[in-house]
Amino acid sequence: MVYTGKPSRGCQTCKSRRIKCDEQRPTCGNCRKSKRHCPGFPDEFDLLFRNENVAVVRRVNKGSESKIVVPVNSVSPASEGTLSTESTSTNASSAPSVASYGSDSSGSNEVQLSDPNTTLLRVYMCLQGDKLPGGIRPSLENQATAFFFRNFILLPQQSEAMRGFVDLIVPYYGRASEQSPVQLATHAVALSAFGNFPGRGYIATEASKTYGRALRRVGKAIADPVEAKSDEVLLSIMLFALYEAITSTNDSVNSWTKHVDGAVTIAKLRGAKEFQSEDSRKVFQAVRSMTLTSAIQQCIPVEDFPGEGWDSIKNENAANRLTALSMDLPEIRARVRKLVTDGGSSAEKIAEAQDLMETVKKIDIRFQNWFKSLPETWSYKTVAYTHAVPDDIMNAHRWFGPVHAYEDVFTANIINDYRLARIFVQSIILGCASILAAELEDYDTMMCCADASLITQQQIDDICASVPYHMDFTLQGKGIESHEKRKAVEALGGYLLVWPVFVASNVEIIPSLQRSWLHGRLLYIGREFGLNQAQMLAMARQQVLSTPGINMQMPPIAQSEASIHLALLRRLGMAQQQSQSQGGTALDPPAPTSSAGALASAEQPLPGLVQPDSVPKTSNVVRIAGARMPNVVRITAGSSSLPPFQTARIIYGDSY
């Protein structure tokens, strides 16, 4: 601060006009007479002392320009929606496909800084929304890192919903040295996320270059037997897999698998060190989760990791318990593929199919018990209800039925993972039933098919009910309360939806209109966030939980008219019993509720077959057809006791 002598206390307007101010308050007489705006009078302290901070910073920056090298593509602080950098690049080249770490696939635009803490300072200031003093401008990668941290890493999340390694990125990044594997890998992921919007293709090019530098740096680290086993190297490899998931090209699918395999190799080398610290354990849990997905895709069992307790669910939160419960699924899938493709006697196939059905039924019970154990905060609320199938099916934001709202998108995503796991189990049941039905005319097998079809349809309906919440910022109360950026929140929701929507749209037994709506949602996500069809497909392929070769159509015995009527009577009888016990009207739409038990109660073991006399006489079956695939039957009211708009989703039929 510098003393400037006795100052003039007049208003700024009079000073500009160079006339004496009478200093009348609240506005001076000169401004009043000339009908000019009087800005008021400055604080006397500010008059006596002038702030010299800006001038000092300017002089320091001028003297240190040779020490801080700002890259050519540096930009001034801006919002994540706009950039001041101009570039002639259009579409980014595809991310490097690597067979080993350390391959040369990047450019030479290195970012050089004289102080390792400068990067963290820039990122911090960007996170705070503040501007650095003139001359110290955040580079493109600093802006991208701040964008990535603020909109994808630092979002509020329940402890029970936390899984993977994302929450470790910030602390490890903060401790990392300049040009370290973790820092370079983080920059690559951040740039790819920052550039994954329409009009930012040139940023993806920078992401690819940074990715190449990170690969080479990790290659050097792996050559060191000590550094190769560090948390930083394993975390960097997991970030590489995340980069491939975000870029989502055809080549990145194979690269993603290679990164997962590399992470598994490093995890095995580490051995019991996995459990020596909480951070190491979280990194291992992320490896385990990606290993599960990779094993399912390749139809191979999950390999054991060194040490005991790697597959235990003790002391795990809800999200990681679900992952641990799913570890048997890859081996089941491998057995199913062998059953479908390999030859063998009929007796052997029947025995294996029956054994598989019993095994997956036990797994399904474990999944249901997991769902029932969830805390109350995981309950969803029915916030709206759509009473008719949308007319513009491809562009409709909501599907027929309820709209569910959750605590946050991470909770909703984990619940959808649970639904996908159950869909996977039901697909195995249907596949095994089709083999048994070819040899046996068994009533129990037919009813097993009916139950599996109904459960599958129910899970997909619930996934559809979660779609609006993921894609509509106004439904996300926690996001609004924390003042999160709308575009970023909806982008995260869209990314988390790709897997469940893709899987649901490829299940054979759903109605054709519902499939079209799901396809429309995938197209909408791609359109909104700059993903082409190939990227959407590649992204889904990296996570999709599917069962190629499994026949999810109903076996011939379950397509007979008698079996259709039996299944229909059973469902109608169950609906009537629930209505009488709850004092409501059968088939009424659910009222807005916050109970998590709604789904759990609908998933209880199904009651025995109801006799025809107990079927409600008011229901009129409009259509029951022995279609090739189970689908939907429309039920209309035969009396005023049922709402005229109401439909009951049973099974069997072609379309709406």
pLDDT score of 305: 62
The residue-averaged pLDDT of 130-145 equals 65
pLDDT score of 281: 75
Q: Identify whether 513 is part of a domain.
A: yes
431 pLDDT higher than 80:
yes
Tell me the pLDDT tens digit for each residue of 139-176. 787 888 887 777 666 555 555 556 666 777 888 888 88
The residue-averaged pLDDT of 549-575 equals 40
At 625, the amino acid letter reads A
Question: Could you tell me where the beta strands, DSSP code E, fall in 208-279?
Answer: none
Tell me the pLDDT tens digit for each residue of 591-643. 434 433 333 333 333 233 223 333 333 222 222 222 233 333 222 223 223 22
Domain edge (last residue) among 317, 343, 367: 317
Contact status, residue 637 vs residue 618, Cβ threshold 8 Å: yes
121 pLDDT higher than 80:
no
The region, left, alpha or beta by phi > 0 then psi within -120 to 50, assigned to residue 605 is beta
119 pLDDT higher than 60:
no
Co-location of 340 and 476 in the same domain: yes
Top-ranked range on mean pLDDT: pick from 481-495, 527-541, 611-625, 633-647: 481-495
| Cα–Cα nearest to 624, from 576, 578, 574, 567 | 567
Q: Identify whether 403 is part of a domain.
A: yes
Q: Identify whether 633 is part of a domain.
A: no
pLDDT score of 616: 33
Co-location of 250 and 373 in the same domain: no
Co-location of 405 and 430 in the same domain: yes
| Cα–Cα nearest to 239, from 281, 296, 180, 301 | 180
Contact status, residue 411 vs residue 536, Cβ threshold 8 Å: no
- Rounded Cα distance between 571 and 610, Å, is 8
Percent of the chain whose predicted confidence (pLDDT) is above 70? 53
Tell me the pLDDT tens digit for each residue of 282-302. 777 777 777 776 776 666 776
Q: Chain-wide mean pLDDT for the chain? A: 66
Element counts in the chain: helices (H) and strands (E)? 23, 6
pLDDT score of 518: 92
pLDDT score of 140: 81
Map residue 621 onto helix, strand or coil: strand
Q: Identify whether 273 is part of a domain.
A: yes
Number of compact structural domains in the chain: 3
- Rounded Cα distance between 101 and 237, Å, is 9
Contact status, residue 611 vs residue 618, Cβ threshold 8 Å: no
Q: 22 lies in which domain range?
A: 2-51
Tell me the pLDDT tens digit for each residue of 357-375. 999 999 999 999 999 999 8
Phi/psi at 422 (5° precision): -70, -35
Tell me the pLDDT tens digit for each residue of 15-38. 888 888 888 877 888 888 888 888
Co-location of 141 and 172 in the same domain: yes
Higher pLDDT, 116 or 431: 431
Co-location of 31 and 134 in the same domain: no
CATH code of the domain in which 35 resides: 4.10.240.10
Co-location of 211 and 237 in the same domain: yes
Co-location of 483 and 459 in the same domain: yes
Q: Identify whether 572 is part of a domain.
A: no
- Around 552, how many Cα atoms within 13 Å sit in the side-chain half-sphere? 22
Domain edge (last residue) among 523, 545, 563: 563
Residue 580, classified by CB atoms within 10 Å of its CB into exposed (0-12), middle (13-18) or buried (19+), is: exposed
103 pLDDT higher than 60:
no
Q: Identify whether 303 is part of a domain.
A: yes
The residue-averaged pLDDT of 101-129 equals 43
The residue-averaged pLDDT of 65-84 equals 36
The region, left, alpha or beta by phi > 0 then psi within -120 to 50, assigned to residue 96 is beta
Co-location of 26 and 101 in the same domain: no
Co-location of 259 and 378 in the same domain: no
- Rounded Cα distance between 154 and 157, Å, is 9
| Cα–Cα nearest to 445, from 326, 604, 567, 533 | 567
The structure tokens listed for 192 are 């790819």
Q: Identify whether 568 is part of a domain.
A: no
Co-location of 350 and 302 in the same domain: no
Higher pLDDT, 330 or 576: 330
Co-location of 156 and 37 in the same domain: no
Tell me the pLDDT tens digit for each residue of 390-429. 888 888 888 989 999 998 888 898 999 999 999 989 989 9
Co-location of 26 and 106 in the same domain: no
Q: Identify whether 602 is part of a domain.
A: no
Contact status, residue 248 vs residue 529, Cβ threshold 8 Å: no
Measured on CA atoms in the order 454, 460, 463, 468, is the torsion positive or negative? negative
